Amino acid sequence: MKHLMRNRANPHIRELLAQNGLSISKLIQPIFIIEGLKGEEAILGLDGNNKMGIDAGLKQIESDLEKAVRQFMLFSVPEKKGINADSGAQIVRAIKQRFGNDLHLWVDTCLCSSSVDGHCCIFHQDKKQRGIIDLEASLLALSDYALAYADAGADGIAPSDMMDGRVGAIRNILDKNAHVNIPIMSYSTKFASQFYGPFRGAANSTPSFGDRKQYQIDVRNKNDALGASQRCASEGADLLMLKPGMSSIDLLSPIKRQNKLPVGVYQVSGEYASLVLLAKEGLSDFDKALLETWQVFSRAGAQYIITYGARKALDLGLSKT
Ligand code: PBG
């Protein structure tokens, strides 16, 4: 009889044989900075994460750096709605001026926090084409945002809108403006999902009409999921991403095989909140459950993990590298 339990019999042998690719350096901490907010406000479902004004945000980053977090994903929310990258760029500048290369700052690049209707794109204005995406205008706006963030000191651009052509358009404008070394982390396989709920409250980006199904992927469609990452790779993405991470884990390996690029996952707000709520009901241990999910991502081959719990990793016993 096979005796597989022999290799699990005690902690020493378990540690010896653990296939451990997980460390804090692989985790990215999202951070929400709201223009004009005084202090901070809790985000429902995302315990340990707040919406913050810039001062509170800088303090939070300082304490995260002490916990060995080096990678951040910035979500900036302007005070006034309207397509304009200035407020986000100012926040990027403030963070980079303060911390320089002590951190690596990815900037989520999308229109949904600033557009009046909460959509990730611009729709045609004329009555006849209502509800039809104006791709050209959307790509121009996204490129403007990306350039403004790069000029302000962003270390990486992370477009999350799902418009066809945006990675190519952003690469083009970055290269033309001496930002050849700034990588694009594309939200490349992003599904239309029910698991973004807590985020939309935090980023003030709930669509005022309709949903995002015109541009985000239908969860039933594997071909579209693979094709979307392939599209981003061919447009010049440097890193690919799968989102929501937990419910798309089956696609990680095929996307890696297909594109030969680094592929990571986003453990999205609803997934993280589900762990919070399980623990609140006494149905699981939050820290252990969180660690388990990261280990699963790592086992599946994720090269990076965006998670609302990155700042807990040191206390959970992860090593820095
Ligand atoms: C914006 C964006 C979203 C998320 C990341 N960037 C929301 C959405 O597409 O509706 C979701 C992140 C999360 O739920 O944690 N385009």
Distance 211 CA to ligand 1 centre (A): 13
Distance 14 CA to ligand 1 centre (A): 37
Determine the pLDDT at residue 245: 98
Tens digit of each residue's pLDDT (9 = 90 or more) over 224-239: 999 999 999 999 999 9
If one residue of 190, 205, 211, 269 were mutated to test the ligand 1 pocket, choosing by the most ligand atoms within 8 A of its CB, it would be 205
Determine the pLDDT at residue 107: 98
Determine the pLDDT at residue 178: 96
- Above pLDDT 70, what percent of the chain? 100
Nearest C-alpha to atom 14 of ligand 1 is from which residue? 196
Determine the pLDDT at residue 126: 77
Report which DSSP code applies to 128.
G
Q: Is the per-residue pLDDT at 96 higher than 80?
A: yes
Fold (topology level) of 4-312:
TIM Barrel (3.20.20)
Q: Is the per-residue pLDDT at 127 higher than 90?
A: no
- Cβ–Cβ under 8 Å, residues 321 and 45: no
Cα distance between residue 94 and residue 92, in whole Å: 6
Query: Which sign, positive or negative, has the C-alpha torsion 37, 102, 64, 109?
Result: positive
Determine the pLDDT at residue 207: 92
- Above pLDDT 90, what percent of the chain? 90
Q: Is the per-residue pLDDT at 270 higher than 90?
A: yes
- Cβ–Cβ under 8 Å, residues 162 and 112: no
The verdict on pTM exceeding 0.85 is yes
With a Cβ cut-off of 6 Å, ligand 1 is lined by 108, 110, 112, 120, 160-161, 196, 199-200, 205, 212, 268-269
- The arithmetic mean of pLDDT across residues 102-120, rounded, is 96
Determine the pLDDT at residue 278: 98
Where in the sequence numbering do the catalytic residues fall? 190, 243
- Cβ–Cβ under 8 Å, residues 308 and 266: no
3-state secondary structure 213-275: CCCCECCCCHHHHHHHHHHHHHHCCCEEEEECCHHHHHHHHHHHHHHCCCEEEECCHHHHHHH
Among 47, 71, 105, smallest CA distance to 306 is for: 71
Domain residue ranges in the chain: 4-312
Q: Is the per-residue pLDDT at 129 higher than 90?
A: no
Tens digit of each residue's pLDDT (9 = 90 or more) over 1-55: 999 998 899 999 898 998 888 999 999 999 999 999 999 999 999 999 999 999 9
